[in-house]
């Protein structure tokens, strides 16, 4: 899978289908692109951070998460799921092995590996509630059926850039029952593997094999709420 620049592709193929549409405004008599909008993900707009008198200090992109439904934009960015089950020897948490087309920068120079460990996650579909979306994404990405759902709370991915909120759920699963749902064909999910928690999961973090920020944040919320799940 190859990543190419937005303008490069549209220059060659003007009719290429795009999920993100430019937001254009007339500024000083000229049409100017001030951001991008996606029906599924929300909007990214350029904004200025200004002094109280309105004088601009710096500009930056700001993302407003959530699909627009009935003219109102959802406040939440999406659901992040911690699938788990318990056995006589302890608790196990499911992590996906997935391929991502954008390489992650790693300080040790190993930037060629596009295989990531991460928790299942996804966005709401129109008129879904977030807990319904979480159960659907669980089934699609792990193949497991939900036994119980617990809202862990959530977090803002980056308060400098995002106006949205990620909701996190701990979903207990039956490791023997399948949901018979499948992920979007565009998602390169290889498998869902369950690791002992916290031992094996912490080992992945310590070995720098689990460095997805959303996954680490959700696991911290899971850890803080674990007393309510036992």
CA distances from 95 to 200, 213, 227 (A): 11, 14, 21
Give the number of other CB atoms < 10 A from CB of residue 203.
13
- How many whole angstroms separate alpha carbon 52 and alpha carbon 56? 9
CA distance 10 to 191: 34
Instruction: Report the alpha-carbon distance of residue 22 to residue 31 in Å, rounded.
Output: 11
Q: pLDDT digits over 146-190, tens only?
A: 999 999 999 988 888 877 788 999 999 987 777 666 666 666 788
Instruction: Tell me the two tokens of residue 226.
Output: 């674990």
Region for 66 from its dihedrals, namely left if φ exceeds 0, alpha if ψ lies in -120 to 50, beta otherwise: left
Mean pLDDT by 10 residues, the chain (230 residues): 78 85 92 87 86 91 70 71 95 89 60 76 83 92 93 89 86 81 69 94 91 93 93
- Position 190 scores a pLDDT of 81
SS (H, E, C) the chain: CCCCCHHHHHHHCCCCCCCCEEEEEEECCEEEEEEEEECCCEEEEEEEEECCCCCEEEEEEEEEECCEECCEECCEEEEEEEEEEEECCEEEEEEEEEECCCCCCCCCCCCCCCEEEECCEECCCCCCCHHHHHHHHHHHHHCEEEEEEEEEEEECCCCCCECCEEEEEEEEEEEEEECCCCCCCCCEEEEEEEEEECHHHHHHHHCCCCCCHHHHHHHHHHHHHHHHCC
Sequence spans of domains, the chain: 19-65, 78-228
pTM: 0.81
Q: Are 166 and 216 in contact (CB under 8 A)?
A: no
Q: Which CATH architecture has domain 78-228?
A: Alpha-Beta Complex (3.90)
pLDDT reported for residue 69 = 63
Instruction: Calculate the average pLDDT of the chain.
Output: 85
Query: What count of other Cβ atoms lies within 10 Å of the Cβ of residue 147?
Result: 11
State the pLDDT at residue 107. Answer: 62
Name which of 176, 173, 91, 101 is nearest 137 in CA terms: 173
pLDDT at 67: 62
pLDDT at 108: 59
């Amino acid at each position: 899978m190859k990543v190419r620049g937005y303008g490069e592709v549209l220059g060659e193929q003007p009719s290429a289908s795009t999920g993100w549409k430019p937001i254009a405004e007339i500024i000083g008599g000229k049409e100017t692109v001030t951001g991008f909008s996606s029906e599924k993900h929300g909007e990214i707009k350029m904004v200025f951070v200004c002094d109280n008198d309105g004088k601009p200090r710096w500009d930056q992109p700001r993302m407003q998460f959530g699909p627009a439904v009935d003219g109102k934009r959802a406040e939440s960015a999406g659901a992040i799921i911690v699938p788990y089950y318990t056995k006589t020897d302890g608790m196990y948490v499911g992590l996906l092995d997935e391929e991502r087309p954008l390489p992650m920068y790693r300080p040790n120079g190993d930037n060629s590996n596009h295989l990531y460990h991460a928790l299942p996650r996804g966005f709401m579909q129109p008129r879904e509630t977030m807990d319904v979306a979480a159960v659907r994404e669980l089934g699609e990405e792990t193949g497991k059926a939900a036994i119980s759902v617990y809202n862990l709370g959530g977090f803002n991915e980056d308060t400098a850039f995002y106006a949205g909120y990620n909701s996190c759920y701990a979903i207990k699963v039956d490791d023997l029952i399948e949901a018979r749902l499948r992920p979007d064909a565009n998602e390169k999910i290889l498998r869902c593997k369950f690791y002992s928690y916290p031992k094996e999961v912490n080992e992945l973090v310590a070995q720098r094999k689990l460095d997805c920020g959303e996954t680490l944040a959700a696991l911290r919320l899971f850890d803080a709420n674990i007393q309510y799940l036992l």
